[in-house]
A and B are shown apart, each in its own frame.
Chain A
Amino acid sequence: MTILCVRFQLPPMYEAALPGLLGLLEEFTPVVQALPPDGALADLRGAERYFGRTALELASVIRVRALALHGVDCVIGAGPGPMLARMALRDARPGLTRAVAEDEVREFLVDKPVVALPGVGTRTARTLCEYGLDTLGRVAAAPLSTLQRLVGARAGRELHEKANGVDRGRVVPNAVSRSLATERPFTRDELDPGRHRRALLSAAGELGARLRALDKVCRSLTLTVRYADIPHSRLRSSGGTPIATTRTRTLAEPTAHSAALTEAAYGLYEALGLQRARVRAIALRAEGLDPAERASHQLTFDPVDEKVRRLEEVADRARAKFGPRAVMPGSLAA
């Protein structure tokens, strides 16, 4: 139980404070992995010996410092591996660090629902529950080959190991977030393609600006359109997940250029051919982020492209100086 999983209780919209809090963790160990927006994993294997305290004691120190220095409370789970630390976190409360010791892993896991396991999404969980494997104990008892038949060879093996408490993950310092997303909700069921396109334009503009600020480019773009409809089968139970359509397109070349992103987003949207669909939100996600210096760019003889890019650069600087709404496409200004 040398891995800590920390979740800072940040007020919403204060993700900016996370880097500072990560710095706090880095005072104890260099092996810290950010889990944006508000969490982190820390490997204290070296720190225990260095500070002469157990991981649990260090957890208290971390909490005190976070409160004293940043005024932020935190919840901490501890376990022998990152997976178990994460799962332990769910049982923890502020002031009560949940620690899972090496020898109590099995008891800890046996009654947990499958969905509690990191890496098991709703879909896998649904598949497993359909076959009566609703707790990790039952998953652990099922033959490996059966699990592999259920969820695939690799996922089955991982599931089998995880359910048996074998935690092969490790804390990867400085793991970067690999995608950026933004969403434009509508206040009512929106059918107007004009307003859909405005939402796309603004979302693509925002993604581009954020990418350029990080010096990244993205390789592909994903459009998610959320509808007001609810799957009929789920109307009966309370609530239900609204239906959404998701489409991904790989860009011709990795880019952070707003115009290119907008064009791709429009293309994705047009392909849906929506008419009467009641759209409640449009979300865009830039995926496959790479450092900008590694991106290649096809030069053209058309001077327009060049001009637009230089304009964008200027606009970025203006925004940096006068705020994000300083420069924007005319159709969004209205």
Chain B
Amino acid sequence: MPGFTHLHTVSGFSLRYGASHPERLAERASGRGMDALALTDRDSLAGSVRFAKACAKAGVRPLFGAELAVAAPATPGGDASVRRERRRTPVRGGAFIDESTPRVTFLARDGARGWADLCRLVSAAHTQEGLPLLSWDANHADGLTVLLGPDSDVGRALAAGRPDRAARLLASWREVYGDALRLEAVWHGRKGTGPGSLRLAARTLGFAAEHHVRPVLSNAVRYADPGLGPVADVLDAARRLVPVDPAKGLDSGEAWLKDPGAMLKTAERIVEAAGFRREAAPRLLEQTQATAAECLVDPEDDLGMGSVHFPEPHLVGAGRRTAQRALASRAAAGMVLRGYAGRRKYWERMHHELDIIAHHGFASYFLTVSQVVDDVRDMGIRVAARGSGAGSLVNHLLGIAHADPVEHGLLMERFLSKERVVLPDIDIDVESARRLEVYRAIIGRFGTERVATVAMPETYRVRHAIRDVGAALSMDPAEIDRVAKSFPHIRARDARAALEELPELRELAGEKEKYGRLWELVEALDALPRGIAMHPCGVLLSDASLLTRTPVMPTSGEGFPMAQFDKDDVEDLGLLKLDVLGVRMQSAMAHAVTEVERATGERIDLDAVPEGDPATYGLIRSTETLGCFQIESPGQRDLVGRLQPATFHDLVVDISLFRPGPVAADMVRPFIEARHGRAPVRYPHPDLEEPLKGTYGVVVFHEQVIDIVSIMTGCGRGEADRVRRGLSDPESQGRIKVWFAQHAAARGYDAETIHRTWEIVEAFGSYGFCKAHAVAFAVPTYQSAWLKAHHPAAFYAGLLTHDPGMYPKRLLLADARRRGVPVLPLDVNKSGVAHRIELVSDSSGGKGATWGLRLALSDVHGISEAEAARIAEGQPYASLLDFWERARPSRPLAGRLAQVGALDAFGANRRDLQLHLTELHRGARGGRGDQLPLSGGRSTAPAGLPDLTPSEKLSAELGVLSMDASRHLMDDHGTFLEELGVVSARRLREARHGDTVLVAGAKAATQTPPIRSGKRVIFSTLDDGTGLVDLAFFDDSHDACAHTVFHSWLLLVRGVVQRRGPRSLSVVGSAAWNLADLLEVRREEGLEGVASRLAAAEGSPGGDPGDGPARRRLAGSDGRPAPAGSAARDPMEDRTIRMPTGYEMHPWADLRPAGEGPAVGRKLWHQSPGSAG
């Protein structure tokens, strides 16, 4: 029996079309006895790299291709009869998605040339407006094989019973592709003559024989396994934005990756139906095999995996010299400029580094990055390097990295060494608000043929899957919304398991049956890409051959060129990626500095603020670090409280300690004990004192491990770094242990020392933290804390404008109030587009002056940039009419401004103002002129409407500004809280360890981070106006509390105080109530009603709080969370107890993709507070 190769196969990277992942397809192809498999995604090559890797793993030869919509060749005179009349614009629901363009499959045939052609065609298809479409003019290539299938124009003509027309169309294809043309027969068991029907397949075969074009057989695969037809239907529905309609024809269920035997049977049926003898069937399969055999594209050689392309030297300021020469001279110039010229150590280090760079030939890379940084700095944008690149002196000399690596003990080897053959990686942080400007500058500098942004596929997770499947199944939208929002952001494949297990979903699980097939389909969509977006920070830089190696499409918003590959693919392809991260904190600090200069004329150079400022460290030690970079999360506030940093180095250590690695290796407690002199400082061996001195004998940094290994074995730092990287892999760890023991023994260390040292190194694993990162992080940390200590109003103005933190804005505002910064209400005559500072009281000129924070127009819900700018430009306004006429706000916007008191200056109460605005609006529309009932010229006449009550005002502020601007929202409930005996956050500081207390407040942040113990812990922060209360709920309280905690905004919690230091405490919750409900009960039924409500709740399980030792033990030890993920968002605590080494993540730990920029996850968080809210 002849073999068979599927030449037409799509994966999930055909957005909302293919139902299987490329990995699954490769696996199945191998499992079903096929030697090769083609991936021909729709309009995309995004799956190619994963597919190539999966194929290598499965032992299948990959073929690369794409399926593109091709426009018809322009016929002279035009085809007027076909032109359809324009349809009426629908009043509702939008027009149908037009997918009528014929589609053709292209396969890369001739190695690199084929791949380049494929890239070019895919890129060309994306240059059109609207859906991707390849114009006929761009439709030519030498290295491609073309399959004309049932969906091509030829196939359609055949389906319509017009072989004459098909012949005419075929001629124009032949003109372009000649012998590389194939006719593709597909049989999906459908009736009639349409695509997938036996008659069309037979006609195709007959037509091919008649016109001497070679036929091939394919199955137009959409999914790997049988039975996935309904999933394909859901995807079709999600793509076309219509519900699944059984009357309109469903997927045949046949488009799976059939084995060669089944395909032979298919071939026999088709051949017979075409009127040939049965023996022709193997010939059809042979033709298919022959076509597959011609398509030879090697992933390594032809896709360019493993080779590197830098921008040409003349573009990065090397002139006609070589890049290495240019780099060396610029580094030397940097030595002189920075005043290191007289220091031998620096010269040696520089030459050493230049050697390594020359060894790899990476000089252009350094020049490129330096060029980008210079350009950014020239634009007046704050820029800082982060990552291991900060460990290179050359980077420092070129002005890329801020901190001096020699002074901070940072190693080049952690970044780049002769032993390591990977692309170096320098990340630069810029102001988030101006990130796109930076992109434009980079593209402008190097040109679109060398620069592209990186793609980021958005994949289905449970909420989106429920929304799309629900819409496809015609579920009620309100119902879909409710079901989707009940889920935390988990993987779609866990939907049913989550229903079984999660306490907060119990109610939904009860009605599970009602939704029928929903759950099954939701799980089937798991992790399929549903859209493609621009990666928030990656930029590809290459030489002019970029476009022959990667397909590029424009991004939806800004129209930047974007490679279809994601960041991992790009690395595999050897494309040089520069990470340009937009950091909101940099924007916030820039705004604060500008505000200070605008208001006072004082220029602050943040990069030159004095080291070791006592006020700044005082602030940090007080743990009131809300809004400060990196140290504002509950866990970090706790750690800072215990660590009590006093120097920059302490900050570096603090940031490094707050990682999974140091916590797992039990480094936090010994470090703190030793630091406060409660435990002696120990070294495994006196030789190791040098690297470990700074951290009291505790290993915190990668650099220290490198030094330890290098000292103990004498292998050199480059090799030591390779060893360090090997530690994360258990297999190589065993080998390293033996190697380490041998070499250390050879250097004369005794067995005991070797054993102890190895224990430290092993526990360190690969977790620890790169000191270069930590130093780079600590700089903005210190700068932001300095701003908070010295220019609080401007600091808050920056924070509120750029929203960099993990907390909602209203919490920052509460913090500002607590720290004595007057919050000035919104006023159309005074507020700017962004938050500003204003002089409130000027005592003794300058010194001691109080600056207030004026809220910004941009925070008003639904205001457009243009409107905000117009209002700010027209200031001041004399009257309401003046404001209405000159600022021209939209009616709803004006109403909102009136509600929050921004128009109070014009007289009358807020409701009267609303009425006037409505009339002005009506007048403008009806053309009744400007009959405005004004009294006394300027101020607006009262209309006798009741004014907003204080609570209505507060609710308007929350609704319009998302902030309680005039006062704290808990202030109104003081009486009730006093009745309950609730402890305020301020008084909680005096509470003793083990006390049972009631706390209440507005929920500020809720997380269920991955916990090393494998348990799920819910962390939440409450804000009650006097401060923050950090809460933890362990899994024995979830049955009773989880739902309430996730779905309420105001919480009343009973719990036990856990105290771990003078400034560090949290409350372990055992019962939670929705405070808003209780307040309503109190209002309507009095205290008795509240009592009966509490009595009812107490009946449910998990009620009793203080039930003693079991819970305390659990709280104190077992459920100890460990931080994970990026530096920015480690929300958890770090009590230090031994834990299992295996990193077993709780399936329900609410993990979002780690996301490079801190801004990404935070923004997300802000949009949907809480995990299931």
Q: Does A228 lie within 8 Å of B474, measured CB to CB?
A: yes
Complex partner residue of A274 from B92, B243, B476, B947, CB under 8 angstroms: B92
Q: Does A191 lie within 8 Å of B914, measured CB to CB?
A: no
Q: Does B474 lie within 8 Å of A278, measured CB to CB?
A: yes
Name the interface residues of A126-158: CB closer than 8 Å to any CB of B.
130-133, 138, 142-143, 145-146, 149-150
Q: Does B911 lie within 8 Å of A132, measured CB to CB?
A: yes
Complex partner residue of B944 from A130, A146, A192, A227, CB under 8 angstroms: A146
- Stretch in A18-26, A238-246, A290-298 touching the partner: A238-246
Q: Does A131 lie within 8 Å of B914, measured CB to CB?
A: yes
Q: Does B478 lie within 8 Å of A277, measured CB to CB?
A: no
A150 to B96, CA, bound (A): 41
Complex partner residue of A130 from B88, B97, B245, B914, CB under 8 angstroms: B914
Q: Which residues of B contact A277 (CB under 8 A)?
A: 90-94
A150 to B919, CA, bound (A): 9
CB distance from B45 to the nearest CB of A (A): 30
Q: Mark B715-733, 1 if CB is under 8 A from A, else 0.
A: 0000000000000000000
Q: Does A278 lie within 8 Å of B478, measured CB to CB?
A: no
A276 interface contact, C-beta 8 A: yes
Q: Which residues of A contact B293 (CB under 8 A)?
A: none
CB distance from A248 to the nearest CB of B (A): 14
Name the interface residues of A264-302: CB closer than 8 Å to any CB of B.
270-278
Q: Does A276 lie within 8 Å of B477, measured CB to CB?
A: no
Q: Does B88 lie within 8 Å of A273, measured CB to CB?
A: yes
Name the interface residues of B914-928: CB closer than 8 Å to any CB of A.
914-915, 918-919
Q: Does B245 lie within 8 Å of A191, measured CB to CB?
A: yes
B89 interface contact, C-beta 8 A: yes
Q: Does B90 lie within 8 Å of A273, measured CB to CB?
A: yes
Q: Does B474 lie within 8 Å of A276, measured CB to CB?
A: no
Q: Does A239 lie within 8 Å of B478, measured CB to CB?
A: yes
B615 interface contact, C-beta 8 A: no
Q: Mark B219-247, 1 if CB is under 8 A from A, else 0.
A: 00000000000000000000001110101
A230 to B92, CA, bound (A): 12
CB distance from A128 to the nearest CB of B (A): 10
A240 to B95, CA, bound (A): 25
Complex partner residue of A243 from B89, B92, B95, B241, CB under 8 angstroms: B92
Q: Is the interface of B mostly helix, strand, loop or mixed?
A: loop
Q: Which residues of A contact B241 (CB under 8 A)?
A: 276
Q: Does B478 lie within 8 Å of A131, measured CB to CB?
A: no
CB distance from A244 to the nearest CB of B (A): 9
Name the interface residues of A222-245: CB closer than 8 Å to any CB of B.
225, 227-230, 235, 238-240, 243, 245
Q: Does B944 lie within 8 Å of A143, measured CB to CB?
A: yes
A123 interface contact, C-beta 8 A: no
Q: Does A274 lie within 8 Å of B90, measured CB to CB?
A: yes
Known: A132-B946, A143-B943. A275 touches B95 (CB 8 A): yes
In the complex, residue of chain B having the shortest beta-carbon distance to the beta carbon of A237: B478
A272 to B91, CA, bound (A): 5
Complex partner residue of A278 from B243, B911, B914, B948, CB under 8 angstroms: B243
Complex partner residue of B90 from A138, A189, A272, CB under 8 angstroms: A272
Q: Which residues of B contact A227 (CB under 8 A)?
A: 92-93
Q: Does A275 lie within 8 Å of B911, measured CB to CB?
A: no
Q: Does B93 lie within 8 Å of A276, measured CB to CB?
A: yes
Q: Does B90 lie within 8 Å of A276, measured CB to CB?
A: yes
CB distance from A136 to the nearest CB of B (A): 13
A188 interface contact, C-beta 8 A: yes
B87 interface contact, C-beta 8 A: yes
In the complex, residue of chain A having the shortest beta-carbon distance to the beta carbon of B87: A273
Q: Does B919 lie within 8 Å of A188, measured CB to CB?
A: no
Q: Which residues of A contact B245 (CB under 8 A)?
A: 191-192
Q: Does A274 lie within 8 Å of B91, measured CB to CB?
A: yes
Q: Mark B91-126, 1 if CB is under 8 A from A, else 0.
A: 111111100000000000000000000000000000
Complex partner residue of A191 from B243, B478, B481, CB under 8 angstroms: B243
CB distance from B471 to the nearest CB of A (A): 8
B945 interface contact, C-beta 8 A: yes
A110 to B95, CA, bound (A): 50
Known: A132-B946, A143-B944. A189 touches B914 (CB 8 A): no
Q: Does B243 lie within 8 Å of A138, measured CB to CB?
A: no
Known: A192-B247, A278-B243. A230 touches B477 (CB 8 A): yes
Q: Which residues of B contact A271 (CB under 8 A)?
A: 88
**B residues neighboring A (CB under 8 Å):** 87-97, 241-243, 245, 247-248, 474, 476-478, 481, 911, 914-915, 918-919, 943-948, 952
In the complex, besides A273-B91, A276-B97, 13 extra interface pairs with C-beta distance below 8 angstroms are A132-B947, A133-B946, A146-B945, A149-B919, A150-B918, A192-B248, A229-B92, A273-B89, A273-B90, A274-B90, A274-B91, A275-B94, A275-B96
